[in-house]
Structure 1
Amino acid sequence: MTERKPPGVEFETWVDKQIREATERGEFDGLSGAGKPIPDIDRPRDDMWWVKKKLREENVSLLPPTLALRKEAEEAHAEAMGARTEAAVRRIVTEINAKITAMNARPPAGPPLNRMPFDPERVVTQWREHREGTEGE
């Protein structure tokens, strides 16, 4: 739609004409979401909706790296407690420990991490105790 609005033609009329003609040519056929409700249309208006949506889609954290890693460490520990095998617990702990060690080795970009790597033997012991406590459920 590179055509310019002719002088003397009302803007809305010109826009409506462009849309109608494009529709008649089938230029809107096959668009994703056709015939579906607009997502979040009933939500309160938020000028930053598109930024927040993009951050969610890209899995970008608004937290400083150290706080994001604290959260990730808590999630990793919970994941280890729910693991099915001891090998899985050790893999989870090894992966998060590598991230914690790397973060502790560089100057913080935000608040201090204040997190030491997990002791794999301690986590495995906790996992065993947790597993024994939930086997009857």
Structure 2
Amino acid sequence: MTDAWEASVEAKIQGAVQRGEFDDLPGMGKPIPGRGAPYDESWWIKSFLEREALPSDLLLPTSLQLRRRIEQVPDEVRDLPTEQSVRDFVAQLNAQIVAWLRFPDDGPRVAVRPVNTDDVLRRWRAERARPEVRTTVTEAAAVLLPPRRHGRGWWRRWRRRRG
């Protein structure tokens, strides 16, 4: 029975080859990805995340995801236009944190506390008040490079003035 099944499968494969159904397949003529690398049990998860362009943070437990989001708060609120939008962002994050604190999952026990809205607003205001420094390349070079000395014996003159 298995011989008959194998023969029918082989006949279908040969028919598909003759019709050209295996020509121009994606990756044809290219090396097999990951060949020669050590075996990784989660290769399919990593390839799925890469193929779908998903962040690898999705694999982290909720407590670590929240911890990472807390660390990224200053970067995420930097471009928000108003104080109310900053307050809304922090309120949404704090709601997620409180929901996790009420019903924690089986992940690692990591200290996660709600974010202080006033601290975030204070930092946000300070960054807004700081003027942007824009310098050109020549201005930066003028600040970083010492002035050019012309003429012979500048080193001796400099030493005399110092000493």
TM over 0.5: yes
Structure 1 residue runs of 4 or more that deviate by more than 6 Å after TM superposition: none
How many angstroms does 1:100 deviate by?
Answer: 0.8
Identity %: 30
| Structure 1 gap ranges (5+) | 7-13
Tell me the residue number matched to 1:96.
93
Provide the C-alpha distance between the structure 2 equivalents of 1:133 and 1:43, rounded to a whole number of angstroms: 52
The match for 1:62 among 44, 59, 64 is 59
1:77 touches 1:93 (CA, 8 Å); kept in 2?
A: no
Tell me the residue number matched to 1:135.
132
When Rg is computed on C-alpha atoms for both structures, the one with the higher figure is 2
Provide the C-alpha distance between the structure 1 equivalents of 2:129 and 2:32, rounded to a whole number of angstroms: 44
Q: Which amino acid aligns with 1:5?
A: E
Q: Which amino acid aligns with 2:94?
A: N
Q: Say yes or no: does 1:5 pair with 2:6.
A: yes
2:74 touches 2:124 (CA, 8 Å); kept in 1?
A: no
Higher helix share: 2
Q: Say yes or no: does 1:22 pair with 2:16.
A: yes
Counterparts in 2 of 1:105 and 1:77: CA distance versus 1, 3 Å: farther
Counterparts in 2 of 1:37 and 1:114: CA distance versus 1, 3 Å: same
Provide the C-alpha distance between the structure 2 equivalents of 1:53 and 1:71, rounded to a whole number of angstroms: 23
Cα offsets for 1:57-85 (capped at 9, x unmatched): 465733332122111222234211x2241
Q: Say yes or no: does 1:116 pair with 2:110.
A: no
Name the Cα RMSD after superposition: 3.5
Tell me the residue number matched to 2:123.
126
Counterparts in 2 of 1:110 and 1:34: CA distance versus 1, 3 Å: closer
| Structure 2 gap ranges (5+) | 135-163
